[in-house]
Chain A
Amino acid sequence: SQPRTTDGYDYASYHTFSEITSFMDMLVQEKPNFVSKLVIGKSYEGRPLNVLKFSTGANRPGIWIDTGIHAREWVTPASGTWFAKKIVSDYGHDTVLTAILDKFDIFLEIVTNPDGFHFTHTSNRMWRKTRKPNDGSICVGVDANRNWDAGFGGAGSSNNPCSETYRGPSAHSEPEVKAIVDFVKSHGNLKAFVSIHSYSQMLLYPYGYTRTPCKDQAELDELAKKAVTDLKSLYGTNYKYGSIINVIYQASGGTIDWTYNQGIKYSYTFELRDTGRYGFMLPANQIIPTAEETWLALMAIMEHTKNNPY
């Protein structure tokens, strides 16, 4: 029942990790001069941490997008898959995306937490964390979005391995996080970093661990406003936007706080759409509308990144 091309892939359905991996391989096979698959590390259970690289030239600055760091947020990797196909389909046809890709590489990690994602398909649909056992505890896994070295261990994360927001024993203790850290550092020239979650319809920028506004807050706020306005233009979906600590709550050790502190100015995190009825159980017929509207916001961020070099 496997599709033979990415045109035959069912973007309006949820898929397993192996199906998504096959999709990535097909995409690379179809566009070998444009798309490549990097393996930036291995998960605790040994699954590859795959990143699609979309590139039209050498030595370009990069834009990073990741989806699915929390396992049960299925609509995020599903949207990521749609984004990958969209990038390939639109390059050379959409002038804005083409201009972006003529200057930047795009890196897309569709399943950031493959062990957790696999676990949601096989054992517990409501699993959120990674799957590494914790020494001295019967509880498994770490909240990978509390494991970054940005206010690590502060308020808004837990030191209890049984908590859903367990931060882990030390910053970057999780191989899924460490792999991204190493990639970001070794690349050295990422200009935007977007980490996508679901649900609750928010577009957020740093910080989460401190009330001190980040130094680019005015610009990030203005861009967030533009992005959510573009997003809303398609289906009328309302998003809140602002800094993590002001819009949601204090959260220490978060992804984009770390990336911002690394010098990646355009660091954002999304919480994708919720129809108000399903939460993490968003029906599959919502995948494409979710991806379509999110794409507009992503384009706003990527285009702004292109037009505002730093």
Chain B
Amino acid sequence: KETFEGHQVLRIIPISEVQINLLKELSKQDHLLLDFWTEPIHDSLAVDVRVPFHSLQAVRAFLGYHEIHYEIMIHDLQDLMDEEQREMMKSRA
């Protein structure tokens, strides 16, 4: 079973077309294995992206360098999944 320890979901708030284009460039970096939950389209929509642990430093550095604002929406995805499983087991019990 695939697990997601250390994966974070970042909510990125782009404020310009330039930042949207930068995020599109980021999304093409296949080696980072990013999973865009909502894609960079225009600056009225936040961009949510799941970032594997091994890519966190690179992504944060990229966002910081380009002064693109973001917040951490989910600190550890696996924690939420474990909680979801516990809830399901509790419900069955």
A residues touching B (Cβ–Cβ < 8 Å)? 1, 10, 12-15, 122-126, 164, 200, 248-249, 276-281, 283-284
Known interface pairs A14-B84, A279-B48, A284-B84; A122-B37 also in contact (CB < 8 Å): no
Which of B37, B41, B91 touches A248 (beta carbons < 8 Å)? B41
CB pair B1–A1 under 8 Å, yes or no, is no
Q: Give the chain B neighbours of A13 by CB distance below 8 A.
A: 87-88, 91
CB pair A126–B87 under 8 Å, yes or no, is no
CB pair A278–B92 under 8 Å, yes or no, is no
CB pair A278–B2 under 8 Å, yes or no, is no
Q: List the 8 shortest-distance A-B pairs measured between CB atoms, nearest first.
A: A13-B91, A124-B2, A281-B80, A249-B41, A1-B92, A10-B91, A284-B87, A279-B37
A159 to B80, CA, bound (A): 32
Output the residue of A123, A125, A200, A283 with the most chain B CB within 10 A.
A125
B12 at the interface (CB under 8 A from A): no
B35 at the interface (CB under 8 A from A): yes
- Chain B, residue nearest A200 (CB): B38
A123 to B4, CA, bound (A): 12
A283 to B9, CA, bound (A): 16
Q: List 9 A-B contacts (CB under 8 A).
A: A10-B91, A13-B87, A14-B87, A15-B88, A123-B2, A125-B4, A249-B39, A281-B80, A283-B87
B23 at the interface (CB under 8 A from A): no
CB pair B81–A125 under 8 Å, yes or no, is yes
How far, in Å, is A162 (CB) from chain B's closest CB? 8
Q: A-facing mask of B62-76, CB < 8 A → 1, else 0?
A: 000000000001100
Known interface pairs A14-B88, A281-B74; A122-B1 also in contact (CB < 8 Å): yes
- Interface range for B: 20 to 34
A280 to B73, CA, bound (A): 12
CB pair A164–B35 under 8 Å, yes or no, is yes
B93 at the interface (CB under 8 A from A): yes
- Chain B, residue nearest A249 (CB): B41
Q: A-facing mask of B38-51, CB < 8 A → 1, else 0?
A: 11010001001010
A62 to B93, CA, bound (A): 39
- Chain B, residue nearest A165 (CB): B39
Q: Give the chain B neighbours of A14 by CB distance below 8 A.
A: 84, 87-88
Output the residue of B37, B81, B83 with the most chain A CB within 10 A.
B37
11 further contact pairs, Cβ within 8 A, besides A14-B88, A276-B73: A12-B91, A13-B87, A14-B84, A14-B87, A124-B1, A200-B45, A277-B74, A279-B9, A279-B48, A283-B84, A284-B84
Q: Give the chain A neighbours of B73 by CB distance below 8 A.
A: 276-279
- Chain A, residue nearest B37 (CB): A279
Q: Give the chain B neighbours of A200 by CB distance below 8 A.
A: 38, 45
Q: Give the chain A neighbours of B45 by CB distance below 8 A.
A: 200, 248
Known interface pairs A123-B2, A124-B2, A126-B50; A279-B74 also in contact (CB < 8 Å): yes
A71 to B48, CA, bound (A): 18
Q: Give the chain B neighbours of A249 by CB distance below 8 A.
A: 39, 41
CB pair B74–A278 under 8 Å, yes or no, is yes
Which of B4, B41, B84, B88 touches A126 (beta carbons < 8 Å)? B4
Q: Give the chain A neighbours of B36 by CB distance below 8 A.
A: 164
- Chain B, residue nearest A72 (CB): B37
A244 to B36, CA, bound (A): 18
A155 to B41, CA, bound (A): 14
CB pair A126–B35 under 8 Å, yes or no, is yes
How far, in Å, is A78 (CB) from chain B's closest CB? 11
Q: Give the chain B neighbours of A122 by CB distance below 8 A.
A: 1
Q: Give the chain B neighbours of A125 by CB distance below 8 A.
A: 2, 4, 81, 84
Q: Give the chain A neighbours of B38 by CB distance below 8 A.
A: 200
How far, in Å, is B10 (CB) from chain A's closest CB? 11
